[in-house]
Amino acid sequence: MRDGPPTVSAEELIDAIAGEEECAVALLRCCKASGALPLSLGACLFAAVKLRRTTVVKALLEGGAPAHNIVGELPPADLVALRRGGVAPDGVHHWSPLVIAVRQQSLEVVRMLLEHGAPAGLAVDGTPLLLHLNAVLESTTPSNSGSGAAAGSSGSDAPFGGNDSSLAGGVLQANLRVEERLQLLLLLLRHQADPLQPCAAAPQRCFLTDCRDPWLLRLTVNYVRQQCEQGRRVSDLEARQLVQAAARAWLDLGGR
C-alpha cells in the first residue's frame, strides 16, 4: 500500500466531474483534507461550470480555484484534459467561467463566482457581460415577451431600490422565468456590470440598445437613472440610448 496522501490529476478530477457530482465532491473534499488538490483548478472549475455542477463549483471555489480564468490561457495540458473529459473548450477560448454561467443563466453559479471575485464589469473578449446575457435571452425569449407577465406593474419608477424587497415586490405577479432573469440582471448590476458599456467591435451597441425584454429594460433604465442621481455623468450618446430604451420599455409594456 502506498504511503502519503492520495494524488489526483486534473484529468482524473475532470472525469469525476463529468460523471457523478457526489463522487466529484467527495474526491475534492478528500484531496483538500490531505492537502493534495491538483494544480489545474482553473480547468476543473471550467468543467464544473460548463457541466452545471453547482455543488462541485462551490467545492472548487472554496478549495482555491480562481474565479476568473480565461479558458484560452489554461496550460495546454489542461486543454487536453478537458477534451479527454468530454468538455471541449473549442469556441470559448476568450470566455471566463462567469461568461459561461451567465450564458447558461445559472443564477446560483453566477452568484458564487461573483462572491469569489469574478469581475462583472470586465469584457474579456470585447463583449460586455450584459451583452452575453442578452445574446442568450434573445434565443429563448419570444418576441411578445412583454405582453404576458405583469412584473413591476405596481412600481415602474423604482424596481431598483436600496434593498431586494423593491425588486421582489415588483415581480410577484411575473412568471418564474421573468423573475429569474430580473434576479440575474440585478445581481450583475450590483456587481458593477454596466448596461452602457459598449461592445468593442461595435461601439454603438450596448445592453440598453440591444435588449428587447421590457422588464429587463425597465429595471436597467431605473438603475442608470439612480446612478445619474448619485453623480454619474453620461455622454450624449449614452443619454440618447437611455431615453430610447426607456421609451421602448414603456411602449412594450402598454404604457405602464
63: CATH: 1.25.40
Q: What is the pLDDT of residue 141?
A: 56
Tell whether the model's pLDDT for residue 144 goes beyond 60. no
Return the C-alpha cell found at 181. 432573469
Q: pLDDT band at 228, cuts 50/70/90?
A: very high
pLDDT at 32: 74
Domain co-membership, 167 together with 214: yes
Domain extent, residue 44, equals 10-115
172-202 pLDDT, tens per residue?
434 557 788 899 999 999 999 999 999 998 9
Domain count, the chain: 2
Do residues 99 and 151 both lie within one domain? no
> Do 91 and 151 reside in the same domain of the chain?
no
Long-range contacts of 9-13 (CB under 8 A, 24+ apart): 9/38, 9/81, 10/38, 10/39, 10/40, 10/41, 10/43, 10/44, 10/77, 10/78, 10/81, 11/80, 11/81, 11/84, 11/85, 13/38, 13/44
